[in-house]
Amino acid sequence: MTKSRDGEPTEALLLTPGPLTTTRATRHAMLRDWGSRDHDFIKLTARIRRRLAAIVGGRAGAKTCVPIQGSGTFAVEAALQTLIPRDGKLLILVNGAYGRRMAEICRVIGRAFEVLEWPDNQPVDGRRVAAALEADGAITDVAVVHVETTSGLLNPLADVADVVADAGRRLHIDAMSSFGAIGIDAETVPFTSLFASSNKCLEGVPGIGFVIADGTALERARGNAISLALDLEAQGRGFETNGQWRFTPPTHVLAALDAALDQFDAEGGVPGRFARYSRNCAVLCAGMRELGFTPWLEEGLQAPIIVTFRIPDGGWFRFGDFYDSLQRRGIVIYPGKLTVMDSFRIGCIGAVGEAEMRRALGVIGETVKAMGG
């Protein structure tokens, strides 16, 4: 039994891409039951929608937030189902598993798409995007992953957004791993939709995804979706009509998200969170280097979200043993997801600070020693 940043006993430090370590205040917000069609809950839903939309700023009322039950992928699919026109074509920029997942969604739901690919350790490149848009007039929409959780890489979102806007196409942003920690300003980064979830940098518990969409684009998307549950336009219209969820929402998860947003505000919003995660990331990378591990990405490409480490040479390192040993001592890390080489990942997000990163490094150091590294 270890302790999280605010001193609440918790079973483990979750140094993963999420679900993450949350605070006592966030978890305790789940101790109340809510009637999902009661006035109080309608107010809670409206407040959360307003607060999430406000994080991207922009002209008042231009963007609307539609939360949806399920994981982040449910929000991605809902956005693509609803916002990519049935006769549209989506260009998907891929440099990791989450770009590939959007392609898989388009394949399954039967929307036309094309993939533009880069290696997992290289950022997407606006010039290639511009050329692809120039070459194919059928492309109506472009999708990009802001931070690829596969590697931890930060893609040049502003460049891509400029290119897409200049070409008169619409942009959709998978901001799953960045939202709340890395600023996206709707005033300067034009986008049609952006998707994220409750349990990443907002430090809520899992169970809710959400899409922040251009209000006009959403209204015009009526009838696009080929799923009842994942029809974002119908849900958005429902919220505008009576403030209600069409289908039972995870009430306790939403109460936790509201509490997590209080803490997000108290920390100073995106700049505050970015500062803490950047410090966590710096401490993690420096400490791991001292222990002989090498971050995989070039420093300038690394987002302060999750770090991919190479499996060390010498044959002494077995990831399964390493994972189990850390897990027994209350540190949960993550396997790698690269196709090109063996790796593992350690997250630096969630309700953790420098002290927790140093504690994790201490346990990792002892484990390496015991393994003969």
Least Cβ distance, residue 74 to its own copies (angstroms): 5
For its own copies, the closer CB: 40 or 136: 40
* From 59, 248, 299, 314, residue interacting with its own copies (rule: CB under 8 A): 248
Q: Site for its own copies (CB under 8 A): which residue of 3, 12, 279, 312?
A: 12
152 binds its own copies (CB under 8 A): no
Task: Select from 5, 18, 181, 201 the one that contacts its own copies (CB under 8 A).
Answer: 18
Pairing state of beta strands 334-335 and 208-214? unpaired
| 64 near its own copies, rule: CB under 8 A | no
Nearest alpha-carbon partner for 210 in 77, 72, 84: 72
Q: Show the binding pattern over residues 320-359: x = contacts its own copies (CB under 8 A), - = does not.
A: -------x----x-xx------------------------
Q: How far is the CB of 30 from its own copies (least distance, A)?
A: 4
- Residue 187 DSSP label: T
Alpha helix ranges (H) inside the chain: 24-28, 39-55, 72-83, 97-109, 126-135, 157-166, 215-219, 232-242, 251-266, 269-290, 319-328, 354-371
Write the DSSP string, 13-24: EE-SSSS----H
Instruction: Annotate 80-140 with DSSP letters as a single string.
Output: HHHHS-TT-EEEEEESSHHHHHHHHHHHHHT-EEEEEE--TTS---HHHHHHHHHH-TT--
CB atoms within 10 A of CB 264: 22
User: Please, what is the minimum distance in Å from the beta carbon of residue 248 to its own copies?
Assistant: 4
Return the DSSP state at 205: -
Question: Can residue 247 be called a binding residue for its own copies (CB under 8 A)?
Answer: yes
Amino acid at 354: E
Question: Which residues 66-85 are close enough to bind its own copies by CB under 8 A?
Answer: 69-74, 77, 81
- Per CB under 8 A, the segment of 33-41, 269-277, 279-287, 310-318 that binds its own copies is 33-41
**Does 105 interact with its own copies (rule: CB under 8 A)?**
yes
Secondary structure of residue 164 in the 3-state scheme? helix
Residues at the contact surface with its own copies, assessed by CB under 8 A:
4, 10-12, 14, 16, 18-22, 27-28, 30-40, 69-74, 77, 81, 101, 104-105, 108-110, 197, 199, 205-207, 225-231, 246-253, 256, 327, 332, 334-335
